[in-house]
Structure 1
Amino acid sequence: MANMILGWVNAADRAVLSGGRWSESLPQAALAEDSLSAIARALGNQPADTAIVADLGAAQPVGLVALFGGTVSPQAGCPGPAARYRIRAGGEAVQGPLLDLDFTGYGASDPRLAFSRDSLAVWIDRGGVMQGYGLTEPLALTLDGFTPPATLPVVLQRPDRRFFAGEKIRLTDPEAPNERWLSGSIARIGPEAGHITLNIDTVAGNGGDVIAWRLESLAPRCNRGQDHDPVSHARLGFRIESARTNLLLRSAELSDSAWTLQGSVAVAQGIVAPDGGPAAKLREDGTTGFHQATQSIAVAEGATVAVSVYVRAAERSRFALVLSSGDDYAQAAFDLDAGTTSLSQGGAGSAIVARIIPAGVGWLRCVLVGALAGAEDYLVALRLLNPGGSYAGDGAGGLLVWGAQAEMGGFASSYIPTTGVPYTRAADSPRLVLAAPETGTLLADYASSQTANLVVASLNDGTADNQISLIQGAGGARIAYIAQAGVNTVGLSTGAALADSVQRSGFGYAPGSFAAASDGGAAVIGASGGVPIVTGLDIGHRLGQQHLNGGLRRVLLYPRRLAESELMAASGSFALQLGTLDFDTGWQDVWHGQQRRDGYRPVLLATPPGVAARYWRIDLDDHANADGFLDLARLWIGPAVELSSNFSYGAALGMEADTRIARSQGGALRFEERASQRVATYPVEHQTAQEAYRVHLELQRVAGLSGEVLAVPDPEDTLYRCERVFIARLRSLRPISNRYFQRFATELELEERLT
């Protein structure tokens, strides 16, 4: 047990607060108000969103730092250190990055980000289900007579589809998505499953068929709609992709006439596909020959094409994807049980890549990348194998098939559902308007399907002539790159890139001083060149070109060039680099491994030993909080005194009710319930003259009966901290008595401040 610590001057009330992202209606400034009912809401649940930096104006001794708030995970009664915090102090560097875009949280998207995408894209949610579009119940909609702005109620065929009130949408005719559509936002999610009311502001096309219109989400896919691994459900961040077109019609409907079934039939099954809808079985008949579904696509002459389909083993576990034109072919064979692939080719065909990608719940995405030299029409075949391609069927064998896609390019992008026409997903080209400093450090945490010719992040002025970029070059090297006035001035290579692997790269820059590092490796130094003036940050692309085609997890921009050692550390672990620190608690559990207690605010506490620092930083990480935001009530930073002799036996803590009670003439009791507050008394004896007059008397003089007092009875007690530590007032001013030779005594009587 440690001795009591007392504080009664809160420097946070006069501090300049910054950092994090906060609600306009519940701003960060509320942390400095002495009303605990004034809430500050952080628009996220991770350090990028919740950071609190307090500038005290000058270095001054601080002995007590506390934050009272609503960090909520784990759920009530569930043990576990899900939420954590960290308190640090030091010079100006403690302010951390100028920009911290963390795309692995579930908070609201940063409002400064502008997104260019205006067509369908899908993602995997945290439950492993593909999201992003849904078919409505058949709807009679006369576009000619529909005049926006107007509301439109719709009912989804699949009520589990994850749409959210307020997000941007487009309602399209599945047969003519680029000709007949309405756009707007979701006004309301109805109480009945699948019932949605739309606010429509734009209409294109004409006619009035009764059809099942398709509702598409246009909301940014980062944060609430971020991508996840379909198997592990790990957070992959914001998937940024170039424009792609799925050339196959009826991508999830093998029974449609768009597909030619040879020696096979498509049979509906009661199996759930990766998007939560129904899957079909490609089942062989009893004939001898190929058992397959085929469809022709038109491509640029000799184009490289990525064909992909989601499959799940049933009676058959061998399968092939084939591109062919006459005698020319490229084929990938897949053994789903063994998880192996093999390539074969003939004539002018080139089989380039075969991949199996786990898609969750037994589903696998099989991919073939191939080309047919000189051909402009490719035949795509989804073929059963047993073990070869031509065999005598038994009328029962087959496997589950869903989500076929054929796209021009050297890799398979995210799934693009189609109906009666090919469908194009527009590129994701987000940009953030930003005046970056002449000296800084740009870092990115990402993964890509490619190794070459892509941009991870680019500071530029809207042209390629002036830029500070992290790229992967034509040869597959990771490069920190600067162009100024159209001249390439800096190009620092930090090694070869890897496809489909998490990578971290950083680039520190200042006029005449440059350094780059990747994955914690040695820094590469450059000593010549200037720094261009930039006006914004492109993430996952540059000027709408050279897209990442992968997941961007986090982007940091520091307002200083990190030292080489800091840059190496940042590119390795992505830990914040705050320069030389005067104090650091390290990461602490909010609940210290104990169970969360309803009715009490968690207390985030540090008792630095009289550290004199100007800047104090508090970081919160509550990644298990499904709400995606945090409500915080009161920040305390100030000097403190630890008693040389602790309080005596007889200390008391209890609840005091302020309930008003009245009795009727008939004897019945009536109650007017009011909030209860904690009260505590601490007998303090054997105090020195210094403590008697400079601590206890000064406490009474400054705080009086209305000022705030923060008492920490036992700084080492984490088990009962949230019950014992609270912001209080002195309930009475007890005299200080000289009870012993050169020793003094008094009593602290505290009452919890509820407002």
Structure 2
Amino acid sequence: MSTLRRRRTGARIDPTCTFSQFFELPAGSPITAAAKRGPALTFTRDSGDATYFDKNALLIKAAVDVPRFDHDPATGASLGLLIEVARTNLLLRSEEFDNAYWSKNGTSVTANQAVAPDGTTTADLFTADDGVNDSAFRVVAGVDADSDYTLSVWIALAPGSDTPAADGNVNLVLFGDLVATVSNNIGSDVTSLFQRFSVTGTTNGAPTNFTAQVGLIQSGDSGVKLLVWGAQVEKGSFPTSYISTTSSTVTRSADVCSTTDLSWFNADGPGTFYVQASQPGVAPNAFLLAISDGTSNNRIVMLQNGVNKTQFFMADGGDTQVGLNDLVDWAADTEKKAAFAFATNDAASYTDGTQTGTDSSVTLPSGLDVFYAGAGETGAAQWNGHIAQIRYWDVRKSNAFLQSITA
């Protein structure tokens, strides 16, 4: 006698969810692995000088057109797809502080003394002579006026090193043709584990150059020994992923993730977008997603606006239809969940479980033919952070649903 068994089907699949991209994937995964519903996205990046962390906290390079599914170097947790603008490392010899390219003041540098974040034995040892300003530094020329520049470097205490006596005894400094000299005092933050530290300064109206100073060790701390690796100076108000250099500057191209297959999208009709994302550094006017006709005239976008708040924006024929802003600033390394639902004369937005706005006078745009993840309607203005997932429903979901999914 046979026994009938009930088939277990699991949770009910919502048929209105027509597009789902899940980016919390192992390093090296193809972009096609992210597509759970709807088409696989197309990913491009013209350079292979893009770095990211795998689950073992190893800094690795991605080849041309290979997406970076990044991980937290401290915990190994998946962060999602890393999307960044193009940046150039203006420093040469980024891993060769012993090279004559770097000027030294009271500091001895011994090359290749420890394992660096990328797993190679290329971290250099800094030892000081107990002077007032023991440092390695480099003048950066050819800079633009009234612009932000950021210096970043990995630093750790070497085995047998004394502990810095004060914050100011180890720091990063930018000085020269700047609005003001800036420093990041990190003495009490440096440990035996490599960490990436940074400092940002702004050039004045007529700059010639400025100096980037690394590993300053103040008087009285002759027993402090530092391991230093991966120096980078880039134009921008925050550091992006590391770009290694040798004899010339190197540019990492922008990440572009898109599709023109909009078979999943309810053209001219209601819909709902959901995004889960974070940024290592706050980047104003950076886009989480955009679906448009390739212009700003007809588009639906989610972005971080110029005052660091999530904005949900819609335009039809060049006329603004919706412009809803979050009330809470984005914070570095803090994940947010945001949703935006829309129909004719009915739009609402939620961030982290809180309603951020509604609009009862809405005309939906038409002619939309391209979708970008982590960029604006032209494929520029990259997110400069991580996107964990993006989902879309081809209906206007209820406000209760928006509150629940973002909580």
Q: Shorter-normalised TM-score: what interval?
A: 0.7 to 0.9
1:30-49 to 2 correspondence within 5 Å?
A: none
> Is residue 31 of structure 2 the alignment partner of residue 109 of structure 1?
yes
Deviation for aligned residue 1:397: 4.1
Residue type of the alignment partner of 1:332: S
1:11-26 to 2 correspondence within 5 Å?
A: none
Residue type of the alignment partner of 1:277: T
Please give the alpha-carbon distance, in whole angstroms, between the structure 2 residues aligned to 1:321 and 1:118.
Answer: 32
Query: Alpha-carbon deviations, 1:229-269, whole Å to 9, x = none?
Result: 10011111011111111100010111112111221121135
Residue type of the alignment partner of 2:242: Y
Tell me: CA distance 1:464–1:296, structure 2 relative to 1, closer, same or farther (3 Å). Answer: same
> Is residue 319 of structure 2 the alignment partner of residue 473 of structure 1?
no
Q: What corresponds to 2:354 in structure 1?
A: 521
Q: Which has the higher contact order (CA 8 A, sep 6+)?
A: 1
Q: 2:46 aligns with which of 118, 126, 146?
A: 118
Q: What corresponds to 1:242 in structure 2?
A: 85
> Is residue 154 of structure 2 the alignment partner of residue 310 of structure 1?
yes
Q: 1:132 aligns with which of 37, 57, 61?
A: 61
Contact 1:523 1:568 in 2 (8 A): no
1:468-617 to 2 correspondence within 5 Å?
A: 468-500=300-332, 501-522=334-355, 524-533=357-366, 534-542=368-376, 543-572=378-407
Contact 1:334 1:366 in 2 (8 A): no
Deviation for aligned residue 1:128: 0.2
Please give the alpha-carbon distance, in whole angstroms, between the structure 2 residues aligned to 1:514 and 1:492.
Answer: 9
DSSP 3-state at the match of 1:420: coil
Tell me: CA distance 1:326–1:98, structure 2 relative to 1, closer, same or farther (3 Å). Answer: closer
> Is residue 106 of structure 2 the alignment partner of residue 255 of structure 1?
no
Q: 2:118 aligns with which of 275, 299, 312?
A: 275
Residue type of the alignment partner of 2:351: S
1:252-401 to 2 correspondence within 5 Å?
A: 252-278=95-121, 279-285=123-129, 288-298=131-141, 299-314=143-158, 315=161, 317=164, 318-325=169-176, 330-336=181-187, 338-339=188-189, 362-373=193-204, 374-386=206-218, 391=219, 394=222, 397-401=224-228
Deviation for aligned residue 1:515: 1.3
Q: What corresponds to 2:272 in structure 1?
A: 441
Q: What corresponds to 2:35 in structure 1?
A: none
Listed as ranges, the gaps of 5+ residues in structure 2 are 33-38
TM-score, normalised by the number of residues in structure 1: 0.48
CA RMSD of aligned residues (A): 2.3
Residue type of the alignment partner of 2:64: L
Please give the alpha-carbon distance, in whole angstroms, between the structure 2 residues aligned to 1:532 and 1:87.
Answer: 34
Tell me: CA distance 1:471–1:302, structure 2 relative to 1, closer, same or farther (3 Å). Answer: closer
Please give the alpha-carbon distance, in whole angstroms, between the structure 1 residues aligned to 2:292 and 2:179.
Answer: 46
Q: What corresponds to 2:15 in structure 1?
A: 95
Please give the alpha-carbon distance, in whole angstroms, between the structure 1 residues aligned to 2:149 and 2:337.
Answer: 30
Residue type of the alignment partner of 2:50: A
Please give the alpha-carbon distance, in whole angstroms, between the structure 1 residues aligned to 2:356 and 2:296.
Answer: 26
> Is residue 63 of structure 2 the alignment partner of residue 65 of structure 1?
no
Q: 1:6 aligns with which of 4, 7, 30?
A: 4
Please give the alpha-carbon distance, in whole angstroms, between the structure 2 residues aligned to 1:95 and 1:393.
Answer: 65
Contact 1:442 1:508 in 2 (8 A): yes
Tell me: CA distance 1:532–1:313, structure 2 relative to 1, closer, same or farther (3 Å). Answer: same
> Is residue 66 of structure 2 the alignment partner of residue 220 of structure 1?
yes
Deviation for aligned residue 1:524: 2.6
DSSP 3-state at the match of 1:230: coil
DSSP 3-state at the match of 2:31: coil
Please give the alpha-carbon distance, in whole angstroms, between the structure 2 residues aligned to 1:264 and 1:498.
Answer: 40
Please give the alpha-carbon distance, in whole angstroms, between the structure 1 residues aligned to 2:303 and 2:224.
Answer: 48
Contact 2:172 2:216 in 1 (8 A): no
> Is residue 296 of structure 2 the alignment partner of residue 461 of structure 1?
no
Residue type of the alignment partner of 2:129: D
Deviation for aligned residue 1:404: 0.4
Tell me: CA distance 1:294–1:253, structure 2 relative to 1, closer, same or farther (3 Å). Answer: same
Residue type of the alignment partner of 2:317: A
Query: Alpha-carbon deviations, 1:259-310, whole Å to 9, x = none?
Result: 1122112113542111111211122236x34211111112112421111110
Please give the alpha-carbon distance, in whole angstroms, between the structure 1 residues aligned to 2:346 and 2:146.
Answer: 47
Query: Alpha-carbon deviations, 1:600-635, whole Å to 9, x = none?
Result: xxxxxxxxxxxxxxxxxxxxxxxxxxxxxxxxxxxx
DSSP 3-state at the match of 1:430: strand
Tell me: CA distance 1:405–1:525, structure 2 relative to 1, closer, same or farther (3 Å). Answer: same
Contact 1:466 1:483 in 2 (8 A): yes
Deviation for aligned residue 1:569: 0.9
Contact 2:270 2:395 in 1 (8 A): yes
TM-score, normalised by the number of residues in structure 2: 0.87
Tell me: CA distance 1:560–1:382, structure 2 relative to 1, closer, same or farther (3 Å). Answer: same
Please give the alpha-carbon distance, in whole angstroms, between the structure 1 residues aligned to 2:106 and 2:69.
Answer: 41
Query: Alpha-carbon deviations, 1:651-705, whole Å to 9, x = none?
Result: xxxxxxxxxxxxxxxxxxxxxxxxxxxxxxxxxxxxxxxxxxxxxxxxxxxxxxx
Tell me: CA distance 1:392–1:479, structure 2 relative to 1, closer, same or farther (3 Å). Answer: closer
Tell me: CA distance 1:452–1:335, structure 2 relative to 1, closer, same or farther (3 Å). Answer: closer
Please give the alpha-carbon distance, in whole angstroms, between the structure 2 residues aligned to 1:112 and 1:421.
Answer: 37
Kindly name which structure, 1 or 2, has the bigger radius of gyration based on alpha carbons: 1
DSSP 3-state at the match of 1:565: helix
Contact 1:451 1:498 in 2 (8 A): no
